[in-house]
């Protein structure tokens, strides 16, 4: 048993060890390949931001801000927070760099770690990663539908089956306040039938009651007024068009009147994507997003329609790990070579040759730490390289090197300064 170390990764945070890296790479390269086609450009923003950016942008009474944010006071007195999501930071960058002056829409993608102090459980971590997309300056419902399509395509490319897209519209500042009041009154009359959290939510943020998972709250939810019945004309028309585009794209979506999302900046369309098991059980959300037409202005920018979404990297990787075996593979491609040496002088000469091979872009493995030639050749076998370069004591003195064909065992001696050219010739064959 491995002895328990005094130091461990913080609760809910994980190392991503080398054998897991190929799964992350697979997701990132599939996703980047797809979003490149749609014209998304990469943007990186700081991991720390002004804490107020999140409390203002995401909303003070959201779980993310109220309970889950890692915030700290710097020595200089600034109050910063580890980003719990990308959207607010990217909207800040959009405003700060005057990007509204550029031809719109602007489309961005980001990959990186986010931090939420949640209760750790399967698929829910305190440090996790997202593949995030944002589109600024685009008000047409085509954008909402295309965004859903892009995430759907990424999951399809990664061989996900039985995907379910859930969509809803949560209105805007025209229609939501009235609906909120209606819902709050409905909930107030049924306060005793709600769980403790929802009794509080019913007063502060009644929409949040709609995505409560507690058994106790389900009957109250089932009879609650639905926002789609109270949308203003503009929101209704927008939503109708989004659904028409989704139909056109043949995307299998479902209307979920309880889908409200946990972040306050959303207006109009909201969506989530899940995987469904044979028995109809939904996975945790793989993707979540929606439109947020009021956020840029709220953060001090111009009135800018926008929409976006984010895929939970760990949740997708978890699935990939179960669904496909990606071998890290031998460190070298079959075109690589192995460099073996025997004795002090040979080791010095090999170090130099190693650098020349790097400059010539010939992938090479070595085992400088080993002195036994036999052990080194065993490594060469393990790497499955076609050639080994061997510098023994004699070769070191004569400034030569042996090129050994690992398949046939045939060995040629060449001058050290010709070794790279000779190898290139051999590898081309």
Judged by beta carbon, residue 176 or residue 315, the one nearer ligand HAM is: 315
Is residue 45 within the footprint of ligand HAM (CB under 6 A)? no
Rama region for 14: left / alpha / beta (φ>0; ψ in -120 to 50; rest): beta
Instruction: Name which position in 63, 134, 138, 166 contacts ligand HAM (CB under 6 A).
Output: 134
When the beta carbons of 272 and 395 are compared against ligand HAM, the nearer one is 272
Among 308, 336, 386, 392, binds ligand HAM (CB under 6 A): 308
280 contacts 265 by C-beta, under 8 angstroms: no
Q: Work out which of 314, 319, 332, 404 binds ligand HAM, going by CB under 6 A.
A: 314
Distance CA 177, CA 171 (A): 9
Give me the least distance between CB of 134 and ligand HAM, in Å please: 5
Write the binding mask 262 to 291 for ligand HAM: x where contact by CB under 6 A, - elsewhere.
Answer: xx---------------------xxxxxx-
Taking the complex as a whole, the smallest distance from the CB of residue 187 to ligand HAM amounts, in Å, to: 23
116 part of the interface to ligand HAM, by CB under 6 A? yes
Minimum distance, C-beta of residue 316 to ligand HAM, in the bound complex (Å): 8
Binding region for ligand HAM (CB under 6 A) out of 116-124, 250-258, 371-379, 393-401: 116-124
Query: 132 or 376, CB closer to ligand HAM?
Result: 132
Q: Give the Cα separation of 206 and 209 in Å (integer).
A: 6
CA distance linking residue 264 with residue 259, whole number of Å: 13
315 binds ligand HAM (CB under 6 A): yes
Question: In angstroms, how far is CA 186 from the centroid of its own chain?
Answer: 39
Question: Measured from the CB atom, is 87 or 146 closer to ligand HAM?
Answer: 87
**Binding of ligand HAM by 124 (CB under 6 A):** yes
Token pair 């829910």: residue:
124
Q: Which of 45, 55, 87, 205 binds ligand HAM (CB under 6 A)?
A: 87
Supply the minimum distance, in Å, between the C-beta of residue 221 and ligand HAM.
19
Parallel, antiparallel, or unpaired for β 337-341 and 364-366?
parallel
When asked if residue 392 is in the footprint of ligand HAM (CB under 6 A), the reply is: no
Q: What's the CA gap between 53 and 86, in Å, rounded?
A: 11
Residue number with CB closer to ligand HAM (118 or 276): 118
CB of 94 to ligand HAM, least distance (A): 12
Is 110 a binder of ligand HAM (CB under 6 A)?
Answer: no
Residues 6+ apart with CB under 8 A from 208: 62, 63, 198, 201, 260, 262
Stretch that binds ligand HAM, among 173-181, 182-190, 310-318, 399-407 (CB under 6 A): 310-318
Question: CB nearest ligand HAM: which residue?
Answer: 312
Please tell me the distance from the alpha carbon of residue 395 to that of residue 406, in angstroms, as a whole number.
Answer: 19
Closest CA to 291 of 210, 170, 208: 170
HSE-up (13 A, CA, CB side) for residue 326 = 19
The first and second tokens of residue 176, run together, are 């939501």
- The number of residues that bind ligand HAM (CB under 6 A) is 27
266 versus 338: smaller Cβ distance to ligand HAM: 266
d(CA 61, CA 139): 27
Answer yes or no whether residue 339 interacts with ligand HAM by CB under 6 A.
Answer: no
> Residue 36: phi, psi to the nearest 5?
-60, -40
Q: Tokens representing 397?
A: 């003195």
Q: Is 85 in the site for ligand HAM (CB under 6 A)?
A: yes
Q: How far is the CB of 135 from ligand HAM (least distance, A)?
A: 9
3-state class of 245 per DSSP? Answer: helix
If one asks whether residue 108 binds ligand HAM (CB under 6 A), the answer comes out as no
Task: Decide: helix, strand or coil at residue 164.
Answer: strand
- The angle that helices 313-323 and 21-37 make with each other, rounded to 10 degrees, is 110
> How far apart are the C-alpha atoms of 150 and 155, rounded to whole Å?
9
118/157 with CB nearer ligand HAM: 118
d(CA 283, CA 377): 48
Six-digit token pair at 172?
């805007």
Give the residues lining the site for ligand HAM (CB under 6 A). 85-87, 116, 118, 123-125, 128, 130, 132, 134, 262-263, 285-290, 292, 308-310, 312, 314-315
């Amino acid at each position: 048993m491995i002895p328990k170390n005094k130091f461990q990764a913080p609760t809910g945070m994980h190392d991503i060890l080398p054998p897991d890296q190929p799964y992350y790479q697979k997701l990132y390269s599939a996703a980047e390949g797809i979003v490149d086609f749609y014209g998304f450009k990469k943007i990186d923003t700081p991991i720390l931001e002004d804490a107020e950016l999140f409390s203002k942008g995401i909303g003070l009474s959201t779980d993310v801000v109220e309970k889950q944010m890692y915030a700290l006071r710097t020595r200089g007195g600034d109050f910063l927070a580890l980003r719990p999501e990308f959207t607010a930071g990217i909207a800040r960058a959009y405003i700060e760099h005057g990007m509204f002056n550029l031809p719109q829409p602007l489309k961005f993608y980001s990959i990186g770690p986010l931090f939420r102090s949640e209760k750790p459980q399967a698929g829910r971590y305190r440090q996790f990663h997202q593949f995030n997309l944002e589109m600024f300056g685009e008000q047409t419902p085509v954008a909402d539908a295309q965004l859903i399509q892009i995430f759907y395509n990424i999951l399809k490319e990664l061989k996900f089956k039985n995907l379910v897209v859930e969509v809803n519209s949560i209105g805007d500042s025209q229609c939501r306040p009235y609906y909120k009041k209606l819902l709050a009154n409905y909930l107030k009359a049924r306060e005793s039938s709600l769980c403790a959290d929802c009794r509080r939510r019913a007063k502060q943020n009644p929409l949040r009651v709609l995505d409560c998972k507690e058994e106790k709250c389900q009957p109250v939810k089932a009879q609650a007024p639905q926002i789609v019945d109270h949308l203003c004309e503009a929101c209704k028309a927008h939503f109708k068009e989004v659904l028409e585009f989704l139909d056109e794209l043949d995307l299998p979506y479902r209307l979920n009147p309880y889908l409200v999302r946990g972040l306050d900046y959303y207006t109009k369309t909201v969506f989530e994507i899940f995987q469904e098991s044979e028995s109809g059980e939904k996975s945790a959300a793989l993707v979540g997003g929606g439109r947020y037409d009021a956020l840029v202005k709220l953060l001090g920018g111009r009135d800018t329609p926008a929409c976006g979404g984010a895929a939970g990297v760990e949740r997708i990787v978890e699935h990939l790990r179960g669904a496909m075996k990606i071998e890290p593979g031998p460190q070298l491609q079959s075109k690589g070579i192995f460099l073996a040496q025997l004795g002090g002088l040979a080791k010095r000469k090999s170090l130099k040759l190693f650098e020349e091979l790097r400059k010539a872009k010939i992938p090479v493995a070595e085992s400088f730490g080993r002195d036994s030639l036999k052990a080194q050749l065993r490594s060469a076998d393990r790497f499955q390289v076609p050639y080994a370069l061997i510098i023994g004591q004699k070769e070191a003195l004569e400034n030569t090197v042996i090129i050994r064909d690992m398949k046939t065992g045939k060995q040629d001696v060449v001058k050290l300064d010709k070794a790279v050219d000779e190898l290139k010739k051999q590898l081309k064959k």
